[in-house]
Structure 1
């Protein structure tokens, strides 16, 4: 009788042993889940940093294009009069810039910058570039394939600073008429959606040559 009772007592766990086992299991789970959460946060930070670097690289490219703007003439298809090709709006811009001697060696290229957000219900769009070899006759211009500059753009603002009437002080405008040549400054403000806080980037680029007809 005594031997059977002793055998039954050795077959299971005591309450203290059970509590210790639960505590160890909880500690292991805490460290495992904590490690997974740390890895997730590290991945998000890394991804956000990569996204910021891509946006900064795109802004540097855009700054270079704007800084090399040249007041090239183009024939207006409406009245057939040659005017400086620079037409700016809040969400799109057309201008002529000097090539970096890569895609268009040694010459000029026409650039169209625009925000394509028509198909995104979330309000996000893509900042796009379309380039072409510059020709004064618009009918001879053939656009290359569009280039993605920045994705997930939720806000784009283009503004232009310059003289639009002789004798008046320069002013900021959200629309720059093609009749007025090139402005003195172009201000670009971009907001890009990310996993964390939105990225805000601002460029204020002086144009190398500001000319009017």
Structure 2
């Protein structure tokens, strides 16, 4: 007896093709999800590395103020260091520019921007060559930095402004954090940079001792 080979019906072929298509779509979707996860992880890693590099540079900058003395237009002799919660201005060397052969005025200032994600802040660095003069006008100096110095972006995309603070070791009630450092004869013992606190989020402060102050601390022990 001969048996005829039974072929696939049109419906069976359509079902098989549909199942094959579904399997291919699921496989492609799974691959896309995996690739998207990799991309997001890589983007997070790159953002973390960039933030780490930026904070490392920022730490070196905050360590670098030189205790140089200047006299302002009110005839007050003081350290070449002036700061408040949002801005910091000091004298330091920049070895990356000229192997540290000369001094520069360095300004760290915050600027807000309107972005597609809303209002964001960034931390900028400006600098100008330091030139000795008989009197110093801080307002004129700050404007000169804004007008003639191309800013370098140290931190970008911050949801809120960061805050500077300065540790005064000679406060009446012991060491005290101040929100302003003006017309002082020396550098602060420590400089603190604090990000704005978010609800339910830990705050990672950056606390740095100016190098000259660190030497004094170690020498007193």
* TM-score strictly above 0.5: yes
- Report if the CA contact (8 A) 1:104-1:133 is conserved: no
Alignment match, 2:22: 26
Question: Is 2:82 aligned against 1:87?
Answer: yes
Question: Is 2:128 aligned against 1:122?
Answer: no
Question: CA 1:133/1:172 → structure 2, altered by over 3 Å: closer, same or farther?
Answer: same
Give the whole-Å Cα distance in 2 for the aligned partners of 1:131 and 1:52: 26
Aligned-residue offset at 1:180: 5.0
Gaps of 5+ in 2: 1-6, 217-221
Residue in structure 1 matching 2:207, options 204, 207, 213: 204
Return the TM-score normalized by structure 1: 0.77
Query: Secondary structure, in 3 states, of the residue corresponding to 1:71?
Result: coil
Give the whole-Å Cα distance in 2 for the aligned partners of 1:90 and 1:199: 20
Larger radius of gyration: 1
Aligned-residue offset at 1:101: 5.7
Give the whole-Å Cα distance in 1 for the aligned partners of 2:8 and 2:44: 55
Aligned-residue offset at 1:76: 1.3
Residue in structure 2 matching 1:57, options 45, 53, 63: 53
Aligned-residue offset at 1:100: 1.6
Alignment match, 1:71: 67
Return the TM-score normalized by structure 2: 0.74
Gaps of 5+ in 1: 1-9, 192-197
- Report if the CA contact (8 A) 1:73-1:83 is conserved: yes
Q: How large is the Cα RMSD of the aligned pairs? A: 3.0
1:132-151 matches, within 5 Å, as 132-137=128-133, 138=136, 143=145, 144-151=149-156
Aligned-residue offset at 1:98: 2.7
Question: CA 1:103/1:48 → structure 2, altered by over 3 Å: closer, same or farther?
Answer: farther
